[in-house]
Each structure stands twice: as structure tokens, then as C-alpha cells.
Structure 1
């Protein structure tokens, strides 16, 4: 988030968040609390599309950390919503197969790549629970045009319960990169691990430590799945 509100609670009372919602879930809200120094575009953006994405940040009981999306990359706002204001929620994996883009949008590279992955029932991604995030996920959830011809396709791949071997990660990355080159789009995949969000490309690269994005903050870690034994909640 390029701008973030001050937490509406004492930080010592905060935890990784309400277990009903996970990072990258899209929430439809009936109301959005206003905060001091809120960017001027936030009210208009929320009034037009009353959705927000769950982000990785601490939240006290009764709150959920969210990100509001405006027009263009510069309009991103991190804030908190009341749990009572959540009307509905949809996960990335639900968007992958239960929602479709508007017919006139199918030719956009991000949606063309997504369709290819949906149809590929024998490829390496088919072994995982996965779904679109970013602009593609937002558009599928809201049916409001968001993706452009230059938009990336962002993916979330669930690996929380089972470690992903490096050789399998390399094969999966190669597959996605080949698709990206064929369609003409950048595909950016993130692994959902017990330690938080880890870039597939970084894990596949064989680095001794990778950056894991957790609600308590980013950290460099050797094994994102070893966090399971320590009871870490991403």
C-alpha cells in the first residue's frame, strides 16, 4: 500500500486477523470508516465499487485489514474495516472457476492467460488450489472494468499445508513463464505459506533465504513451511 491509515486500535491488542478472511480475499462492504488524512480519491472509489482486498496486517478483534483500490497504480490505500460491515467475501480460488470476465474483455492478455490456465487440466498448476488476485481478481469479483492491455496476471497459489519442493517450483515457474511469453503478459505468482506470502520466482531461484510477507511484517526466512511447527499464523 502506498498510503496507510493509522490503526483504529491499540497495536498491542492486535493479532494477524479474523480467521474468516485470508489475505487477497475480496470483501464487499456496506460501509467504510473514514480516517484522518485519507486520500481524496478514496470516498469516490469506494462509492463506485464498494469492495476491498484483505491485506497482510495486524488487526484487533472486530476489525479486518483491507486495501482500497482506485484508478491506476498510484491509488492504493491501506486501512481497516469493521468486521460487521462485511457483506460478502470471495477468495481467489473461487474466482478462478466460478466467475468469468465480461465477453468483451476476454481478449485482454491477462484474461487470455487466465483462460489458458483454467483450461489446462493436466499442467503443473492443476495440482494446486490457486486463483487470480490483483486487477484480474478485482474485476472478476466486481464486474467493473479494471484490467488494461498492459496489466499483469497476478496469481495466488495455496501451499500452506504442504511444502513445495524447489524442483517442482522451478517446473511451475517455467510453465507460467512459457505461457506469459506466448500470450504476451507478465504472470506474477505468489505462494501462500505458513510464514506468509512468498514469490514463486524467489523460491524457485534457490536462494538460501526468501522474503516472506507476514501480517507482522516482512522477514527473510530459509524455510517458509517450517513456520508450521512454530504455530505462525500468516
Structure 2
């Protein structure tokens, strides 16, 4: 297996058209809530075109992931996870509904319950955190996706076939040669465990696939609250969201 590059790291959510009205006047992205943070919510606001499975999913685990979208003041763009990759629902939460925030990096040392640590994504995560001399150890990073969700909520979300999704915070420029070494570390672990590892760099320009940056492409796709766009240098002082 290999570290993936083709599949988009940021999951696409079926966004409620009614809920989208809450963001019509949006012009900002609140830095308190970062993409891929998990929010524990005291309630989930309902909209007319809410999907049928959403209430049950939220009742099982009252968490939602922060997604990339501009929001109106006082609101946070969130995604609710259901069973399977096809069940993703995008909506908005009011900041007053947030009980707590779980950042991906806070989950690096977390352990799954019930003997589930033998699942491949958890095995890969354990291998990455155990090597203090490997390139990844020099970064702030953490699991997202199903692995992060299960570690944060204690609700089963990982399967034998689950990828391991990682977020690596890179506020400062990341040299291409360093990115290549980091990519190779992840690829080695992925091949040994037999799963796919997808890693995203969180840069000032937005989310960038590590695989794309390490490949030396002239431009890479940045996923930003205002929409995806192509950029040559994600750490340039003028980096910001724009049209794709």
C-alpha cells in the first residue's frame, strides 16, 4: 500500500441548502475553530432539509468536525459523520452550542478501547508516535478522519479498511527535501501495516496534500474556507483563499 495523493483529504459534505442560508452574509473564518477540530456540541440545530440519519448519528456521538467554509458571525461550519463514507452532512452550529474542542494533535497519545488497537489504522498511528527520531516527531501533528473521531468520542468508527488521515501543522515554510523525507516515512509505515496514509499540511494558505508538495509540483491545490485554489508557495505573505 502507499501514502495517498489522489483522494482529497478534506471530506466533501452534502451541505444543507436551508442551513446554507445562515452563511449568506459570511465574510470571515473564525480562527478559534480550526479545520478538522472536533467539537462536542450540546445540541444540533435542525433545518428543513436535514438528512434522515443525522439525528441518530448525533445522538450516538454528539460531535461534529469543523469544515472549511466561511461563516456568519457566531456560527461555525461543521460536518456530521454517519455510518460509512457516503454519510456526511454539512451544516452550521452556533458557537454557544460548543461544549469543548478536540484538536487532532491532542489525540496522538490517545488509545482506542476494547482491544481495537489491533486495527490497521491504530497500528500505524502507534508506529508513528513511537519513533521519536523520525521526521514526523519534529512537527505538531495528529490523526483526523475515522481514527481521530473514534479516539475523541470512544465510538467505533474505524474498520479494517480504514485509511489513516493525518494533519501536520506547518505554519513555517517546509522545504521540499524535508517534505520528501517526511513522505517517505509515512509511506514506509503504510507499506508495513498495509493501509493508506493520507497526510495534509496545514499552511497559511490552507490545507495542502503532503504528497503534492513533496512531488515538487509547480502549483499545489490549497483547500481554504473561501474555496480551493492553486498556489505556488503556500507560505508566501500574500497567500489567501480564492477561486479554484
TM-score (norm 2): 0.91
Relative distance call for 1:152 and 1:231 in structure 2 (3 A) is: closer
Q: How many residues align?
A: 229
**Distance in 2 of aligned mates of 1:104 and 1:13:** 44
What residue number does 2:162 align with? 151
**Distance in 2 of aligned mates of 1:216 and 1:199:** 18
DSSP-derived class of the 2:207 partner? strand
**Distance in 2 of aligned mates of 1:231 and 1:83:** 27
What residue number does 2:91 align with? 79
Instruction: Please tell me whether residue 9 in structure 1 is matched to residue 55 in structure 2.
Output: no
What residue number does 1:60 align with? 72
What residue number does 2:60 align with? 48
CA displacement 1:136-171 (0-9 Å, x = unmatched):
0000000001100000000000002x1111111111
What residue number does 2:147 align with? 136
Choose from 96, 121, 130 the match for 2:132: 121
Name the Cα RMSD after superposition. Answer: 1.4
Pairs within 5 Å for 1:87-126: 87-97=99-109, 99-126=110-137
CA displacement 1:208-229 (0-9 Å, x = unmatched):
0000000000000001111xx2
Q: Do the aligned partners of 1:8 and 1:80 also contact (CA within 8 Å) in 2?
A: no
CA displacement 1:72-118 (0-9 Å, x = unmatched):
01100111001000000110000112x21114101100000000111
**Distance in 2 of aligned mates of 1:2 and 1:186:** 21
**Distance in 1 of aligned mates of 2:94 and 2:241:** 21
Relative contact order, CA 8 A, sep 6+: which one is greater? 2
**Distance in 2 of aligned mates of 1:10 and 1:186:** 35
DSSP-derived class of the 2:223 partner? strand
Unmatched tracts of structure 1, length 5 or more: none
What residue number does 2:8 align with? none
**Distance in 2 of aligned mates of 1:189 and 1:70:** 22
Instruction: Please tell me whether residue 198 in structure 1 is matched to residue 211 in structure 2.
Output: no
Unmatched tracts of structure 2, length 5 or more: 1-11
Which structure 1 residue ranges, 4+ long, deviate > 3 Å from structure 2? 231-234
Q: Do the aligned partners of 2:227 and 2:241 also contact (CA within 8 Å) in 1?
A: no
**Distance in 1 of aligned mates of 2:224 and 2:189:** 29
DSSP-derived class of the 1:19 partner? coil
